[in-house]
Amino acid sequence: MSSVPHRRALIGLVAAFALLVVGVGYSSRVGAAEPSGADRQADLIRQAERAEREERVDNAIRLYGQAIEAAPHARLARRARARIEWLGERSRGGAGPLAALMRMQQLAPGQLTVERLRAFEKEVDGFPPVRVRRESRQLVAEAWFHRLYRPLDAIHAYQKWLAEPGLDRADWQTATMGLALARAKLGDLHASIDALRRAGLGKKAETSFLEVERVARWACPLSFALIAAFVALSLGLGGWRGLSPSRLKQALSPGRLGVGAFAYALPVVLAKLHRPQTWRAMLLLAPASAGLLLLASVMGTGLDAARDRPGLRRLIVALGLLSQIAVGFLALYYSRTLLGMLVSMRALSR
């Protein structure tokens, strides 16, 4: 008799276990059929990004909103809110101007042509005076200058950008410096530097770049002329005799070459270890200076015409010293170290 209740209890346990297994299986199938909020949110954001690439701004904003509703507190929800804010602010003048701007932004370098940019510039003239027009002006100006290398067109575009209402301080600075660089590209360095100084941008890196270029316009030709004059005068006064094989062999002895290599390699190594921003200048300066000194010492043994003429010897020595200074300047300029030094000094003086 007592076995009947036990049998009933066992049957009940088996039935309960079977129901549990069936419930778990059903819930797993339901979970697989219905994606989680995070998965749905990720899929909606992918759809919104595709809509952006296809210039369907309204659809993109709607899809980003649905993505936020799917999982409001997820990390992707913050990204969706940022995109809605970005798109909403730039579509105040309608979806058309923003779509046109996005279409230009997505062009590959080879796809941007003079005709296409000029057509877009005319289209921008008809945009309402809101943020999307200011950003379109920036794209046009920078494309003329940096991508198509047409400084005259860039000047007109920068002037239009600067004339935009509601331009903030950062955009005004960018447009002002771009305009100055475009004018400098056409050769008007003095006016460009003066314009930047009047605008209160005299300590910016762009101003330093233009000042270095202004100095280099006369300093580089003068440096090359000094070096050429020193070599030509030395050769003309008999220095070519020092280039004979026997004298070259004596000048290029292993001992002298070893000392010279150590003396000029040491600054390069020290600069590389302690002042990485100057080691490129040293890399140019060391062999150039070493070569000039070696040439001077070799030619000096053959300067018979200057032995009894102290004034001529002083001239050659002075030209040699000036040539060394010229080599140093050229090394600093072509390694861009001179620009870095000027920018650093101005940063310290602030």
Domains in the chain: boundaries:
3-90, 111-201, 208-348
pLDDT, residue 102, reads 86
> Which amino acid is residue 8, in one-letter code?
R
111-201 to CATH, choices 1.25.40, 2.60.290, 3.20.20, 1.20.120: 1.25.40
Taking the model in full, what pTM does it have?
0.64
What's the CA gap between 274 and 278, in Å, rounded? 9
Residues 6 or more apart whose Cβ sits within 8 Å of residue 251: 242, 294, 297, 298, 301
pLDDT, residue 49, reads 85
What's the CA gap between 183 and 191, in Å, rounded? 8
* List of long-range contacts for 145-153, beta carbons under 8 Å, 24+ apart: 145/178, 145/181, 145/182, 145/185, 147/109, 147/112, 148/112, 148/114, 148/117, 150/114, 151/182, 151/183, 151/185, 151/186, 152/182, 152/186
Q: What tens digit of pLDDT does each residue of 196-207 get?
A: 999 898 888 888
What's the CA gap between 149 and 240, in Å, rounded? 47
pLDDT, tens digit only, all 350 positions of the chain? 445 555 555 555 545 545 554 454 444 444 444 456 778 888 888 888 888 777 788 888 888 888 888 888 888 888 888 888 878 777 777 778 888 898 898 888 889 999 999 999 999 999 999 899 999 999 999 999 999 999 999 999 999 999 999 899 999 999 999 999 999 999 888 989 999 999 898 888 888 888 888 888 999 999 999 988 888 877 776 666 656 676 666 666 676 667 666 666 666 666 666 565 566 666 666 667 766 766 666 665 555 545 666 676 777 778 888 888 888 888 778 877 766 666 665 555 55
